[in-house]
Amino acid sequence: MNLLSVFRKSFLFLAFFLFLLSLAIVIKISGMNSQIEKATAQIKADGFPISGAELDRWYHRPPDDQNAASFIMDALGVYVSAAPNSTHLPVVHRSAELPSLGTPVPDLQLKAINKFLETNRESLELLKKTRHLTLSRYPINLSQGLNGLLPHLSPVKGGAQLLYLSSIYHTETDQLNEAVEAAVLSMGLAGSLAQEPLLISQLVRIAIQSITGGSIERMVNRKHFSDAQLASLQEAIRGGEDPEANVRAFAGERAFALNFFLNPGNLMAMAGGGMPTGAVAKVLSSLYGASGLRQTDALFYMDHMKKMIDIYRMPYPERLTANAKLKQTLTEMKKHPFKKFQYVISGQLLPAYGRAVEKDLRITATLRTIDTGLAILRFQAASNGKLPDTLADLTPKFSPQIPEDPYDGKPLRYLPRNDGFMVYSLGPNEKDDGGRTYKDARKQGKNKQDQEQYDVTFKVLKTL
């Protein structure tokens, strides 16, 4: 057997091997494409969008006269920002920190707040028109995908700060109906984002709810509110819980991502800054798809997102456990020497989604502790100053049921203290820290780990 014959046989063997390998890859990719088609069809069958254009149609557009967002945009269109030299204006200027809970606001700060409110009187009056509007859609075009602009989010958060200052000022000046109205309007401002199917919008909604919660805690620690006023605050707070808001947000994020996974030419844009553009991007995107990496990444992403949406339909303690398991999956994927390249798009997007679940749990705990605290104040007023012995005493008149801690499913913790009380949830560490507040943990913590040992609290230092 001569050398040429050996070479021919080796070449034929190698060619046959490469043919079989290519055939296997084609079959595998074809199978994954079929899986993607089935998964995409199931998403649509479940009533969810799979593209920016579908998402834009999915985001309901109410009639203009019923659209809270229209009035809010009018109000914020005439909003006047604080002057840079307004150094005594709290919230807007961090240097002008409000005094501790239960302490009167200093005159200089009150004057600065009053001036700011007067400057924005027109904006505040327009916001009042949203009081009884429950439908909302802001003027955004979701069909543009990640290139779409969200110019309303920053002004909306500014509106929440304006209403926060309004509630504080009117509490300090004994205009309690106006203070309650400002807090209720602020919760409505948060609610105007509930239908918006974007994660960033829901994070802003949560931030506004947190701001409002802080104002209510300050209000009840300064003045005595009537039963009707407390009930109005309770109603607004209870309306803040909306698990479906986050389902819509994840559905929206998934629709944007699928627009890239199903259209390989867009993948380089999805991969983030610093990636090639133009012809080089098209070549890399084609290779990404031809190699099967796009399909593998897409299937992993779609499976993970389905689980994320399912999490939001679980009871709260189960939600926490399921999210922790998903986070562990991502952690292991990031550490794997090959999988972190195999799931390049998923690896960038999915970690932020898990943190959103944690923020939702915390704001739910915040809203429930506030609701319960208001119920306790109503009970006390109706019982000649006596605090309830247990939270069970609040049902059914002041609370429809014993409120549960979203972190463990047990009743919220309740601590009567001298003339006041505290209601608290276990918080993110899932441990009972005896009602230790976030601020106390930050100030007193000996190290970073100790600073994370706190509960989600609502406290009244002394009932009035």
What pLDDT is attached to residue 86?
78
Q: What is the pTM of this model?
A: 0.89
Task: For Cα atoms 128, 132, 138, give the angle at the middle one, nearest 5 degrees.
Answer: 80
The residues spanned by each domain of the chain are 48-262, 356-464
Structural tokens at position 44: 């649509």
How far apart CA 419 and CA 413 sit, in angstroms, is: 17
Structural tokens at position 340: 């972190």
Residue in 93, 91, 92, 164 with CA at minimum distance from that of residue 127: 164
369-396: average pLDDT: 95
How far apart CA 142 and CA 155 sit, in angstroms, is: 19
User: Residue 281: pLDDT band by 50, 70, 90 thresholds?
Assistant: low
What pLDDT is attached to residue 285?
61
User: Residue 335: pLDDT band by 50, 70, 90 thresholds?
Assistant: confident
What pLDDT is attached to residue 369?
97
Residue count of the chain, please give it.
464
Q: Please indicate whether residue 278 or residue 40 has the higher confidence score (pLDDT).
A: 40
In percent, the amount of the chain with pLDDT more than 70 equals: 86
| pLDDT surpasses 90 at 156 | yes
| pLDDT surpasses 80 at 415 | yes
What pLDDT is attached to residue 27?
60
pLDDT tens per residue, range 416-454: 987 799 999 998 888 989 888 888 787 777 777 777 889
288-310: average pLDDT: 84
Task: Give the residue carrying structure tokens 């609610």.
Answer: 191
What pLDDT is attached to residue 2?
60
Average pLDDT, the chain: 86
- CB-based burial, 280-292: b 16+ in 10 Å, e otherwise: ebeebbeebbeeb
Report the interhelical angle of 3-45 vs 293-311 (nearest 10°).
30
Residue in 285, 256, 132, 261 with CA at minimum distance from that of residue 198: 256
pLDDT tens per residue, range 96-135: 889 999 999 999 999 999 999 999 999 999 999 998 899 9
318-324: average pLDDT: 89
What pLDDT is attached to residue 359?
92
| pLDDT surpasses 60 at 364 | yes
How far apart CA 217 and CA 225 sit, in angstroms, is: 12
373-379: average pLDDT: 96
What pLDDT is attached to residue 73?
95
| pLDDT surpasses 90 at 291 | no
